[in-house]
Amino acid sequence: MEKLLVANRGEIALRIIEAARELGLSTVAVYSEPDKTQLHVQLADEAYCIGPKEPEESYLNLPTIIGAADISGADAIHPGYGFLSENSHFAEVCEGHDIKFIGPSSSVLELAGNKLESKKIAQKAGVNVLPGTDGAITGVKELKEEAERLEYPLILKAAFGGGGRGMRLVHDEEELVNGFKSSTKEAEISFGNGDIYLEKYLQQPKHVEVQVVADEHENYAHVGERECSTQRRHQKVIEEAPAPGISDTTRDELREAAIRIASEYGYNSLGTVEFLVDRDENFYFMELNARIQVEHPVSEEISGVNLVKDQIRLAEGETLEPESYANLKGHAIEFRINAEDPEREFLPSSGRITLKQIPGGHGVRFDTWIYDGAEMTPHYDSLIGKLIITADRRYDAITKAVSALRRFEIEGIKTNVGLHLDLIRQKEFRTGDYSITFLEEFMERSGGERV
């Protein structure tokens, strides 16, 4: 590889550009018309406009992105996360154009994108899955029969895709039928496939995921696990590593299960195996995210490795060195800083940003695309940056986080910084004894919206 095209925007595009340069690669940025002043455009060696503001006509426009690669002479493409990162067809097209796709093979992506098939793979690996339907629901009659068999509460899930889209929690038949219709429609719009399946809903579980690393030579390693239970509408808000509130025995079993699942897939890149863990520490496989995750920095902080660089190296065919991930120490917490107003039902906020003060110092990392005078547009994700706090102990990381969050002074847009401060002051968070309902329960206590 000599030249890498970054098929993304925002802070992850900057991380990829930085990693590529450290590896001696030149970089190519692509951008939509509203993003012409974005930092990734300014910092890449070359940049090409790929269309208007609509993602379907720019960042999701496969022919235009491949065209930019051809024009620039890029021999590799990194998709980042979101957009085309888990699109098996995109990976297949890259392979057909002799362009190295930085991620797993198209065949693995296709397999990982099918949640029903993924559950079967987990079972082959000897890992528990939640009771549910064996295939996609074909109609309302089957829907009602399966719901009666599984018993409420249940959750409707899209068979393809992720990010919480197409997902509905249902408690009775009326919610079930209405939810099935809306979930099917949302899945069709979001993923081009409306297949929906039913699964037993686990009450107040933890959402714990394991970062795995795999090469093309069937070598596998893990970089510990992450706690991701602080969520709003199935979207993660705070992540930390290692996961608090679980025993060392369960921790080891989760890590070993993730490796078995990755091996069963024939995985060959960075990936994340996600689990639900109940109050008795029984755990169940959810899905394999076949890309780098938004929350990967907390794993970097406790391991001392650069996962983005490693992902590129793995794509070049380098052999994995498991011992390089073995020295996990300290505790790291990531706060997703979003341009939104929690006091107005998390309404997205846009405008010209004025940076008065941002936190820094030992153990304080801020991965962001914003700068003084940057324009936050309403066209894309509301994420403006990720604050990552690292310390020797979890208690110290939380204390340091309070200080760092208080130092944020950003004008021109609303942010969720105040919400983060409120959340980490809660007893449940400080003890580590919280589940995926934590944020919802906090909002109810504080008189906010039901999330």
The catalytic residue positions are 291
Q: Quick one: CA dihedral 12, 391, 356, 409, positive or negative?
A: positive
Beta strands 196-200 and 375-376: pairing type?
unpaired
Return left, alpha or beta for 349; rule: phi > 0 is left, psi -120 to 50 is alpha, else beta: beta
Using alpha carbons, list the distances in angstroms from residue 288 to 104, 153, 161, 216, 307. 12, 24, 11, 18, 17
Return left, alpha or beta for 361; rule: phi > 0 is left, psi -120 to 50 is alpha, else beta: left
* 306 token code pair: 């650069």
Q: 3-class SS at 214? A: strand
Using alpha carbons, list the distances in angstroms from residue 60 to 54, 96, 191, 293. 9, 18, 12, 18
Beta strands 206-214 and 270-277: pairing type?
antiparallel
CB 166 within 8 A of CB 158: yes
Distance CA(134)–CA(125), nearest Å, equals: 17
Using alpha carbons, list the distances in angstroms from residue 110 to 14, 161, 248. 27, 11, 34
List the beta strands (DSSP E) in 105-216.
154-158, 168-170, 196-200, 206-214
CB 209 within 8 A of CB 283: no
Distance CA(384)–CA(389), nearest Å, equals: 17
- Phi, psi of 234, deg, nearest 5: 70, 10
Q: By C-alpha distance, which of 75, 53, 93 is closest to 5? A: 75
* 378 token code pair: 């309403």
Instruction: Supply the DSSP symbol for 57.
Output: G
